[in-house]
Structure 1
Amino acid sequence: MPTAREIMTTDVTCVREQDDLRTAAKQMAQLGVGSLPICGDDSRLKGMLTDRDIVVKVLAEGRDPGIVTAGELAQGKAVTIGADDDAAAILRTMSQHKVRRLPVIDGHDLVGIVAVADVARSLPERPVGDLIEAISEHG
């Protein structure tokens, strides 16, 4: 089975934890993505920010996205995968945590992102179908 390093997208842009969410949203729009890793000044991963986070946790609550920072939405430890972990570990982690994107870590460094689309391109249909079913379940 291929490893995360072999199937990940390596061109990863972080939003800084002190950036406001208006800046983060513009960055997502420019890149054409729905999520960004949140990185600290030490370049370590602090969490993931999604467009849904901005809508549900900020806009829907009447908060100002020009004031709320990405770091405020970085909750707990981000779910990650090691660069040398195989596809079975990727599938297991995505299914267990119901996530569509996994930051890939090599030591303490963020080196890429594995998305469901990356997995779909690299693996046979059945494991990918099982993954989609697992992360789409409401629980």
Structure 2
Amino acid sequence: MKVKDIMSKKVITVRNFATVANAVQLMRDHRLSSLIVERLDESDSYGIITETDIIHKVAAKGLDPDQVRVCEIMTKPCIVVNPDLSTKSVAQLFANTGIRRAPIIRDQLLGVISTTDLLLRSNFVEQPTSVSLQQQIEQRFAEARKICNEQGFASSECASAWDLVEELQAEKAHQQTERLNQTAFDEYCQEYPEAKDIKRFDPWFCHWEEEQYNKSL
């Protein structure tokens, strides 16, 4: 599931020069905890003003919200999200940055994604990512064994198949913040010690990237 599948297309925005009092009224009217701040022009970036900004930077300091402008307390540029990003990736972004809402941008403002959207509209309950990844790992593991048995340990197809399995395992370990002590290939080598001589791809970057880089020099 992608961001564009669950994002809210109705976006309430506020202008840079609006007062904080104006912003609070918009939040009350539309029951929002934050507002996207409009760009000055196409070369400008979007901003965001949150209820936390207002409480910490205005209310806590005893300032008059009719005298403080949105541009004085907003965050700009704000974190934006591509509509084709997976909902899992957005959940990770929110967890890593502590934000709860972000505009969806592709040349222009398309919508907004929030923690509420992720909770109520995504399919993480019905289709947990860890379960899906484990299924992919098991499938690719079986395919890698078959390819190596048919093509031979020295084939590039065999090496590529194991690289794919290990990439999936690394992603799962990252998501679950676990240390990857033994890969599927290590397990395979215990059964077939001769497989240790398989020519592996560069662990730092793929050959396609290296080839493209060399061509650009």
Which TM-score applies when normalising by structure 2? 0.53
Which has a greater percent of helix?
A: 2
Give the equivalent residue in structure 1 for 2:115.
116
Structure 1 gaps, min length 5: 128-139
Once residues 35 and 67 of structure 1 are traced to their aligned partners in structure 2, the CA distance between those partners, rounded to angstroms, is 19
Q: 1:39 to 1:45 in 2, by over 3 A?
A: farther
Give the equivalent residue in structure 2 for 1:81.
81
Counterpart amino acid of 1:104? I
Counterpart amino acid of 1:116? T
* 1:55 is aligned to 2:55: yes
Give the equivalent residue in structure 2 for 1:42.
41
Give the secondary-structure state (helix, strand or coil) at the position aligned to 1:113: strand
Structure 2 gaps, min length 5: 130-217
Counterpart amino acid of 1:41? L
Deviations 1:43-68 (A, max 9, x none): 75532111221111111112221111
Counterpart amino acid of 1:66? D
Once residues 53 and 20 of structure 2 are traced to their aligned partners in structure 1, the CA distance between those partners, rounded to angstroms, is 10
Alpha-carbon offset, residue 29 of structure 1: 0.6
Give the equivalent residue in structure 2 for 1:103.
103
Contact 2:45 2:76 in 1 (8 A): no
CA RMSD of aligned residues (A): 1.8
Once residues 110 and 53 of structure 1 are traced to their aligned partners in structure 2, the CA distance between those partners, rounded to angstroms, is 22
Which TM-score applies when normalising by structure 1? 0.81
Give the equivalent residue in structure 2 for 1:136.
none
Give the equivalent residue in structure 2 for 1:15.
14
Give the secondary-structure state (helix, strand or coil) at the position aligned to 2:67: coil
Once residues 45 and 11 of structure 1 are traced to their aligned partners in structure 2, the CA distance between those partners, rounded to angstroms, is 19
Give the equivalent residue in structure 1 for 2:144.
none
Poorly superposed stretches of 4+, deviation over 6 Å: none
Alpha-carbon offset, residue 10 of structure 1: 0.4
Percent identity between matched residues is 26
Alpha-carbon offset, residue 34 of structure 1: 1.1
Equivalenced residue count is 125
Give the equivalent residue in structure 2 for 1:5.
4
Once residues 56 and 42 of structure 1 are traced to their aligned partners in structure 2, the CA distance between those partners, rounded to angstroms, is 29
Once residues 69 and 45 of structure 2 are traced to their aligned partners in structure 1, the CA distance between those partners, rounded to angstroms, is 15
Q: Which moved more, 1:6-15 or 1:75-84?
A: 75-84
